[in-house]
Amino acid sequence: MSHYNIISIGGDAAGMGAASQARRVDRDISIAVFEKTEFVSYAACGMPYMISNDVTDYRSLIAIDRDEFINKRKIAINTLTEVTEVDFQKKSLTVKSNDKTETHTWDKLVIATGASATRPPIPGIENEGIFVLRTLRDGLDIKNFVVESNPDSVILIGGGFISLELSESFIKAGLKVILVEKMESVASLMSPEIQETIMEELKGKGVELVTSASISEIKKDGNRLNLVTDRGVFNAPFIIVSTGARPNTGFLKNSPLKFHKSGAILIDEYSQTNIPDVYAAGDCATVKNLITGEDDYMPMATTANKQGRVAGLQAAGVKTELYKGAIGTQMMKVCDLEVAKTGFNKNDASRHGIEVTDDLTVWKSRAGYCPASRPIKVKLTIRADNRKVIGGEIIGSDFAALRINTIAAAVTAGMTVEDLAYLDAGYAPPFSPVWDPVIMAAQGFIKRVKS
């Protein structure tokens, strides 16, 4: 048995962020990390680009080497080690590694176990050649399969961000891409105009889109797989399933911890759980939604990094650190398109009973006379009662996605659309028109009445 001042269960973004921040604050405390997989501190969002070979060495995705954590930062790293039980009263946990079981005790605990990819209950889903993409090992398994098997095609189940990014990866690799989605469109979290533009881009790149599809079975056919749906049978050497994620909290279900309906651990702005000296962060935890003020589940890398930092600082005694919440800002690249979203669109607002107005503006990325100028679509969502900006979506090229950060700042600051319409944004012809696309979108909401 070993005792540590701080233990982190989980060694990716949130867990290693917590351990690193605690070490920066106090060089003398003992810190241990227990990670179920073989890797710690890696950029999971970079895996599609490793699969496409844009990132040629997977080690480039590892932010800090395991040995550096151990030798330079004096953090005990235990990989391929699973925490099977936690006794919150005794402040102890049981770990299993190589069929060996040990018990360790702690003063402060950070739970950063992340989330796992969900697999829908489809007959044949466990067949060889069916993958998910959540961990670095998942990414390496997919990459190795492509290199060793030289497949001619792939089926992607699910039309969310992972499948959309992987579409580009496999197009670059010369594979035929078949994307199967149960909804009427891909990118179901986006507004219809954005969805339509994404689908046009994918079709233009040769992707076979199969929407409104119900899958009944996956059959093995030699070295290939048959995906049986009500829209037909589709065949490929391998399949990647991307249908959502669930928090890795099952081993804690009988504990006194409080949970969100999603299964995520409920925490406050200090990453504190309902149990003293126990913190949680990342994809296994909730975050405050800054628009509704409610606890929400947003499994995102940006949130994980921020919560992990706060959890580690709090555990090390820095009680002033906090993370107020998130609005779900995200961006992705789909072939030649850049797509981004922040806050609520009309569908999101409707689910929360918020009345809104929205509008789509098409503008230019730079001054119109600049040869590199490209069209950008900006859609803003405005509350009907107080005119505050509560969301936005952007699609285009020429660094279009980065402009979502302006809208994210406006939502977070509680700006009205009138505030945003006259924001003092920067201007130079190589970077932006004199009226920035986001500012121009806000201008469209102003009602001008002659007095």
The DSSP bridge partners found for residue 337 are 334
- Cα 376 to Cα 359: distance, rounded to the nearest angstrom: 14
> Pairing mode, if any, of strands 176-180 and 153-157?
parallel
CA angle (413 as vertex; 411, 416 as ends), nearest 5 = 65
> Quick check: helix, strand or coil at residue 370?
coil
Nearest to 169 by CA among 157, 156, 184, 188: 156
Query: Is residue 274 a contact partner of residue 258, using CB atoms and an 8 Å limit?
Result: yes
The whole-angstrom separation of Cα 392 and Cα 408 is: 8
User: If DSSP codes are grouped into helix, strand and coil, which group holds residue 383?
Assistant: strand
pTM above 0.75, yes or no: yes
Cβ–Cβ < 8 Å for 104, 30: no
Only one residue has tokens 């005794």, namely 90
- Say which amino acid occupies 82: E
Is residue 223 left, alpha or beta, with left meaning phi > 0 and alpha meaning psi from -120 to 50? alpha
Q: What's the confidence (pLDDT) of residue 336?
A: 96
pLDDT of residue 450: 84
Nearest to 350 by CA among 206, 191, 172, 193: 191
Distance CA 400, CA 394 (A): 7
pLDDT attached to residue 312 = 98
> What are the tokens at 225?
């797989």
Burial-class residue 276 by CB neighbours within 10 Å (0-12, 13-18, 19+): exposed
Stretches where the chain sits below pLDDT 50 are none
Sign of CA dihedral 283, 314, 4, 42: positive
The residues annotated with a catalytic role in the active site are 45
Amino acid at 394: I
DSSP 178: E
- Distance between CA atoms of residues 248 and 259, nearest Å: 12
Task: Report the distance separating Cα 285 and Cα 169, nearest Å.
Answer: 30
Q: Can you give the pLDDT at residue 242?
A: 97
